[in-house]
Amino acid sequence: MSRTSWTTKRDEKTRRLKSVAHLMNGAILKNRDIVEALELLLQPGDRVVLEGDNQKQASFLSEALSAVSPSRVNKLHMIMSSISRPEHLDVFEKGIAEKIDFSFAGPQSLRVSQMIEDGTLKIGEIHTYLELYGRLFIDLIPNVALVAADKADRSGNLYTGPNTEETPAIIEATAFKDGIVIVQVNEIVDELPRIDIPGSWVDVVVEADKPYQLEALFTRDPKMITELHILIGMMTIRGVYEKHQVKSLNHGIGFNTAAIELLLPTYAEKLGLRGKIATNWVLNPHPTLIPAIESGWVETIHCFGGEVGMEQYVAARPDVFFTGRDGSLRSNRAFAQVAGQYAVDMFVGSTLQIDKNANSSTVVSGRLAGFGGAPNMGHDPKGRRHSSQAWLDMITSDDPLAKGRKLVVQTVETFQNGNTPVFVDSLDALEVAKQANLATAPVMIYGDDVTHVVTEEGIAYVYKAEGEEERRQALSAVAGVTPIGRASNAKIIQSLRERGVVAYPEDLGIQRTEARRSLLAAKNVKDLVEWSEGLYNPPAKFKNW
């Protein structure tokens, strides 16, 4: 009887590492040798997970990958959270890679769309972040991981600092299935502030020629917040946060949510809501949340990642943030996604298109952006079993087995820049699915998960609507002069307002003329710095004084 080998993957890893032994000094590789090392360590057809979430980029390694010889390394199956840098797509045009599974492609969304049309890029699936991380342990197990960290010692132990983000998930899926873990670091030191990843999980460490790319993705300049944003923020605070007594939540990126954060210490304070709403967050350290933190509104924040310039501020507020003994933030994108899916009561986000049934997507014609973590947080998790006031407040049935649900709130202006309507009869995602040969349309949040839609016109409490037709009528009531909005009926709207399925500003005790910039706790970035007592150090592009 022939003997089966149960160590084929381990043996192959040993073989590959031996091929670069002449380039290595323990776990350390000189950066000048990175391309040669990749050509030896990578094999055609490998699954390669490249760290590139929407903030932190393994930029040195992505550039090195794009420089390998396609005759030696080809047909790679790339796995990435975010397609963010030009070389992320260059590898496909050069023939180094042929297929990708990803979550988000905001900065490269136009090019992705064009490359799909040209047949240069094959898409596996468009995932949520948590879904992609999960598949790393099931059917997308990496052969090689290319990741980034702040520092390493000479034993290969890693310090990831405030921007740990998705690094642990990527490394663990690779290291414990006999894949090869290659890490770029900003510097190699004798002693680390703390050990975030043990050296026994790491195979190759290379000190990059410059620090990894880090984007200030969650910073919004208060001076760009308009009175329309403020009106939407006021209605959301009054008609959603206060009405349902929401204490745990996540905010998406945008000026609508930035306005809400800056209205908490002013408008919401006048309503007597401090301590009653918005106390526990899963959120990146948004600079626009500084005034609310300093005013005692915020009890805790767990972060997906860091934010450029917020490092000193976060370190000085350990009662609010999760920090290590060294004082720096410990973020974790996978754990934060889990918290955002199951632990919080509300997700507040935005989108590019909403159809008449409240389905929404950021995938539009000519722009395949993906959707990152929004679907994780922007849906009602059927497995939730713990209750809260806000969760229970969503019950609309007398059935003794009725359960609550997460609040999923879309805050949008009825028209985008360029006078493009947000409310449409049919999502562009349907046509994109055909063009990209996707099995299903890339919908970000399905309409049956949406509980509230807030526009400058008012609030549609779609969870209260009785049947599909009434949901459509509630949406049309707040869709303004878009084609969906023009189909509304004044008599029906009045009935919906009387039943509380729709609320306009006056129904909430809000005068539109109240929505002024004077309500904002900070009106520019300089104000945020002053609120932080000088601890917030904004990136240069935001220093406008």
What confidence score (pLDDT) does residue 2 get?
Answer: 66
Alpha carbon separation from 513 to 38, 183, 230, 270, 517 (Å, rounded): 61, 54, 11, 17, 11
Secondary structure in 3-state letters for 160-172: CHHHCCCHHHHHH
**Neighbouring C-beta atoms of residue 292, cutoff 10 Å:** 25
CATH class for the domain made up of 345-503: alpha beta
Domain locations in the chain as residue ranges: 11-214, 216-227+246-344+522-536, 345-503
What confidence score (pLDDT) does residue 1 get?
Answer: 60
| CB-based contact 392:491 (threshold 8 Å) | no
Cα–Cα dist 244/461, whole Å:
12
CATH fold of 11-214: Glutaconate Coenzyme A-transferase (3.40.1080)
Cα–Cα dist 363/23, whole Å:
44
**Mean pLDDT, rounded, of the chain:** 95
Tally helices (H) and strands (E) across the chain.
Answer: 21, 25
Name which of 163, 235, 543 is nearest 411 in CA terms: 235
Two structure tokens written together for 62: 């992505």
Q: Which residues pair with 420 in a beta bridge?
A: 416
418: CB partners within 8 A, 6+ apart: none
Name which of 162, 145, 187 is nearest 55 in CA terms: 162
What confidence score (pLDDT) does residue 433 get?
Answer: 87
CA 543, distance to chain mean position in Å, is 25
Question: Is the dihedral angle over the CA atoms 476, 477, 481, 487 positive or is it negative?
Answer: positive
Biggest alpha carbon–alpha carbon distance for the chain:
85
Cα–Cα dist 100/94, whole Å:
14
Cα–Cα dist 480/420, whole Å:
13
Helix axes 109-118 and 86-93, enclosed angle (nearest 10):
10
6: CB partners within 8 A, 6+ apart: none
3-state secondary structure of 502: strand
Q: Within 13 Å and on the Cβ side, how many CA atoms surround 356?
A: 14
Helix residue ranges, H only, 20-118: 34-41, 59-65, 86-93, 109-118
CA angle 85, 90, 93 (to 5 degrees): 150
3-state secondary structure of 37: helix
Cα–Cα dist 66/103, whole Å:
21
Name which of 486, 349, 342, 495 is nearest 412 in CA terms: 349
What confidence score (pLDDT) does residue 134 get?
Answer: 97
| CB-based contact 477:496 (threshold 8 Å) | yes
Q: Which residues pair with 355 in a beta bridge?
A: 424
Helix residue ranges, H only, 22-150: 34-41, 59-65, 86-93, 109-118, 129-135
What confidence score (pLDDT) does residue 525 get?
Answer: 97
Reported as a single tens digit per residue, the pLDDT across 76-101 is 999 999 999 999 999 999 999 999 99
Residues in the chain where the model's pLDDT stays below 50? none
CA angle 458, 459, 460 (to 5 degrees): 125
- Give Rg (Cα) of the chain: 24
Only one residue has tokens 């990708």, namely 100
- The amino acid occupying position 439 is A
3-state secondary structure of 138: coil
Only one residue has tokens 């190699």, namely 188
| CB-based contact 364:352 (threshold 8 Å) | yes
Q: Within 13 Å and on the Cβ side, how many CA atoms surround 516?
A: 4
Alpha carbon separation from 145 to 38, 55, 205, 410 (Å, rounded): 11, 18, 12, 36
Two structure tokens written together for 87: 């070389």
Cα–Cα dist 365/540, whole Å:
34
- The amino acid occupying position 449 is D
* Complete DSSP assignment for 148-162: EEEEE-TT--EE-GG
Reported as a single tens digit per residue, the pLDDT across 249-261 is 999 889 999 999 9
